[in-house]
Amino acid sequence: MQYKKLGKTDLEVSLIGLGTMTWGEQNTLEEACEQMDYAFSRGVNFIDVAEMYPVPPRPETQGSTESYVGEWLTHTGTRSEIILATKVAGRGDQLPGTAHIRGGPRLNRDHIRRAIEASLERLQTDYVDLYQVHWPERGTNYFGQRGYKHNPAADGIPIEETLDALSELVREGLVKHVGLSNETPWGVMEYSRLARERNMPRVVSVQNVYNLLSRQFETGLAEMAIREKAGLLAYSPMAFGVLSGKYIGGEKPAGARLTLFERFARYASPQSAAATEAYHAIAQKHGYSLAQMSLAFVCQQPFVTSCLIGATNLVQLKENIDAAEIRLSDEVLTEIQSVHNQYPDPAP
């Protein structure tokens, strides 16, 4: 397993990180613990959760994922060996289905305090290594929204207040480092500016979507990640499982995420389907599975700190972790770029 520095911190996170958002919905506690056991045995030391998980978000299951991780950490005694990340939910009216979280989550001091205290209780720990803002307070383009419509009236809680509240948690030792998720270049730059000017904690990572079907991070944010030392924690590197190839030809395997939950339509366009088939042909030509080629591509990017995989069984998990050992040749990368040029970012 390869390891990379988390921003300018002294923490080194595994190139493959363990995503968890199915735990408590598609996976039981026993299955989640099996995945953590196996990933840990392979050198994965980075686990990423969120107070909102599992997904789809529901009042009945909210917080279950953190509770599962807390049970495993306590049972195995591995807390000191794990770099643990969680997230505070963004503004409730910006994401349908989150009104049950604190009556509609906001990114002010009161909500952030209540969120971290509840997360720490579920995780059975007294600190998290990385605390991330799950999505912005202001209305902007994230979660697959193309384009930008400026509406200052919808800005809500200022970033300065959010960062000040996070700073308090860092000073108290409840949080070691601060990160962002689903952010734009302007948002990352504003957090960075405030941190410099007011001597507040610097952002050490940005967790955004990045995969062969959605490479928007490369425009603006990639440079930001490198220059500001806030590397990408790439989520959805398999595009909701589309880049496993199991949905090619309109297939809907029983128990698969896109079969179970129709709301996940981000990668359902004809262009995404065509691009997926083209990438699949490249993978077959060079002797890879589509999943491993897709993950290896993400891992190989210089702005990526960790590629967050999410599996629902151990067979998938093993294949995904093995991808960290693959180095794609210039020939493969050229062929991938050719498909990207033909179908540029078919998914938002």
pLDDT at 84: 98
Residues of the chain with pLDDT under 70: 251, 254-264
pLDDT at 252: 72
pLDDT at 82: 98
Residue ranges of domains in the chain, CATH in brackets: 3-342 (3.20.20.100)
The question of whether 53 is a catalytic residue gets the answer yes
Q: What is the reported pTM?
A: 0.95
pLDDT at 154: 87
pLDDT at 62: 97
Q: Which of 3, 38, 53, 68 is catalytic?
A: 53
pLDDT at 216: 96
Query: CB–CB of 116/174 below 8 Å?
Result: yes
Q: Is 81 exposed, middle or buried (0-12, 13-18, 19+ CB in 10 A)?
A: exposed
